[in-house]
Amino acid sequence: MTRRGGGSQHRRPATPQERRAQRLRLVRRTALAGLAAVLLGPLLVFGLGWVFFSVPSPADAVTNQVALVSYSDGSRLTRLVPEEGNRIAVPVEDVPQHVRDAVLAAEDRTFYSNPGFDLTGILRAVWNQVQGGSGGGSTITQQYVKNALVGDEYSLWRKYKEVVLAVKISQERTKDEILGDYLNAIYFGRGAYGIQSASQAYFGKPVQLLDASEGALLAGVIQSPSRWDPARNPERAVERWDFVLDGMVAQGWLTPQERADARFPATIEPRRGQAGVPADANGHVVTAVTAELDALGITSEDLAQEGLRITTTIDPERQQQAVDAAHAALEGQPENLRSAMVAVDPQTGGILAYYGGDNGLGLDYARVRRLAGSTFKPFVVLAGLQQDPPVGLGETFDGEEVPGLRNAEGADCDRCDLKQAMTVSNNVVFNSLAKQVGPENVAAAARAAGITAPLDDPNEGIALGNKEISALELASAYATIAGGGVWHQPHLVREVVTADGRVLFSAATEGERRFPERVARNVVESMLEVADQDGLTLPDGRPVAAKTGTVQSRFDGENNDAWMAGFTPSLSTSVWVGTDMNTPIRTAGGEPISGKTLPGEVWQEFMGEALEAAPVETFPPYRPIGEAASDAPPGVDPEATPTPTPTPEPTVEPTPEVPPPAEPPADPRAAQPGDPATTREPEQGDGGGLLFGDDDEPAPPPTTSQDCSITPCG
């Protein structure tokens, strides 16, 4: 049978020569296809980018550089934008030629001849990406595109988009137009965007009057304002200035003689304050947020250029409640009084409300450190519970006054256990306990809870608060107790996202166990009746652990600082009231202020409103460590009162196996050396105990008339 169309049923096998020819044809076709892909592929990709990517406008550069700070619910807290007049557009013709030349010498010496991108720099960026690095050279056109639209992510996608737009903008605008847009958009540091604002910020004059030396300095800071600003680093600023001038000579834009005659220019002092910081109480929140960002490695340049979206932990409703509570308590009171309040979520460390005073551009009293008074007593209990054997809440002590150490009125007791002593704030008992467990162990317990202030060389007076702490630290440390011994870094920043969607930071949710939950619950137990004793209970019978603190003045019958701090399982809040000059604090009626008066009023008002819509929470069951606390009321000898059998366990656990508390990491937001509160010498009293721990009820004022020239009279 023959095949249709003729031909043999069997094909003749190919000869070796024919097979070689077939392979050569296949190789040629593959090579041609590969070459076409190499040549046409990038053109196709480039063409797609050309079609879909829009050329940015100068307005895009302004918009994408604005950092937004929001509350926890996403509503706006503030915009970190230049101050009015700090971004002034100027025609490129008004910028002196030697200033323009200086910028080109610093940033892009081939600007007028390159196609808008630097091929060598791009290849270097690709190689760095392949090796896991970052960076690569950019022309002025690329820098402008990056700031205006693309973002600053180190990736090949960004470089691709940057190159396409750089070429596209080079086709649509002249080089002078691109340079003018760049000079009006770039950040120069000191809050200055654009060459005109930079000229005012560094030299106090318009750009038209700048000479070559001044232009070289401004051109030099563009790359890294925080590094090259002479006010921050004069030596490196001179090095950068030399580099720019030498580049101008190399390009023929400056003569060798002009270079030899050039002198490093003097700049004016940087203006204090930051754009976008509110002048009211929220200003302290924003300043604290920017300080926290800086500690996280997110610099002022990032804030100024990357269009960051910063979400804080601040609850807008609770923030307003904190401000309102402080205002209500201080309304009509002496003008010299100052107050601070911080509220922390014990489960996350997030700061829910932050009040450091009404002058948002002034001193932040939430970070000012003052003597702690009796708010330090819970840390003495914490240290005692971790001893071997532990000192339980049922341990009894003599509570009568001794020479050199007195109690507040009504706080004496012949014999009382630790819970009774905490309830009435008996100084003698806690001074004795601090001696027994060791002041260093008290300091270590406070550090484990979250106190970051120096507690160097402590003595037994630490039990009565002879060390300085801030409202922020106290709220955080009490939050650790409320959280069952798990410490969370107190923080204001929850998340940071760039304008192009990259997440730069997201706050950690896990905590660090500092001491056992059972130990924390025993400390809570010691504090549960304080609020009721001081008339500061919360609505609906809500359980709350609390402690007041009053720091006595060197003037008899006067107090200098007053505290109230307390917590539920979901909210820890501390309040401080004092003065700038560490002088006696009185009400408008002339009465000395103690922890349970004005600070207590602020705390009670805030906590009541902040928790109004929340369900009533209870603390975990109390399982005593050591001897259990008695049910005897304050003032009744607990040894004469039967102690109920504790539940739910029939036996008491022996000493907890707890290693010494680790030193917590330093808080970058703690008050810095040089703060007026940190440099003040603590007051000293007889036996180290007279001035620190007396609280709740101040000693009676002297019956003689007071000399208002020595002690201010309300």
Looking at the DSSP assignment, which residues form a beta bridge with residue 578?
Answer: 338
**pLDDT number for residue 644:** 53
Strands 309-312 and 370-371: unpaired
- Is the preceding omega at residue 42 within 30 degrees of 0, hence cis? no
Apex 461 CA angle, 455 and 462, nearest 5: 35
Residue 51 backbone dihedrals phi, psi, to 5 degrees: -75, -40
How far is 710 from 714, CA to CA, in rounded Å?
Answer: 12
Distance CA 17, CA 276 (A): 81
Note whether 509 and 489 are within 8 A (CB). no
C-alpha 351: how far from chain center = 10
Fill in the amino acid letter for 548: T
Q: What 3-state DSSP class applies to 122? A: helix
pLDDT score recorded for residue 667: 44
State which amino acid sits at residue 176: D
Catalytic residue positions, numbered: 107, 374
Measured N-to-C along each axis, helices 156-172 and 119-130 cross at an angle, to the nearest 10 degrees, of 170
Cα–Cα separations (whole angstroms), residue 275 to 60, 268, 304: 20, 18, 10
C-alpha distances out from residue 6 to 13, 294, 574, 703, Å? 18, 86, 103, 136
On whether the CB atoms of residues 218 and 102 are closer than 8 A, the answer is: yes
**pLDDT for residue 413:** 87
Q: What is the pLDDT of residue 487?
A: 98
Beta bridge partner(s), residue 551: 561
DSSP labels, 458-477? --GGGGGT-SEE-HHHHHHH
Report the pLDDT value the prediction gives residue 651, as an integer from 0 to 100.
38
Q: How many residues would you count in the chain? A: 714
Domains in the chain, ordered, with CATH?
83-261 (1.10.3810.10), 369-491+509-595 (3.40.710.10)
Tell me the mean pLDDT per 10 residues along the chain, length 714: 50 76 77 65 61 63 75 93 61 96 95 79 53 59 72 58 77 90 88 89 95 97 90 94 97 96 94 74 95 91 84 98 96 96 98 96 95 97 97 94 83 90 95 96 98 95 96 98 98 92 91 98 98 96 96 90 98 97 94 95 97 96 94 80 49 42 44 38 35 41 33 30
CB distance 374 to 424 below 8 Å? no
User: Could you give the CA distance from residue 74 to residue 578 in angstroms, rounded to a whole number?
Assistant: 34
Give the pLDDT confidence score for residue 659 in this predicted structure.
44
Residues 504-557: tens digit of each pLDDT: 999 998 999 999 999 999 999 999 999 999 999 999 999 999 999 999 988 888
Cβ neighbours, 10 Å, residue 84: 7
Determine contact, residues 307/67, Cβ cutoff 8 Å. yes
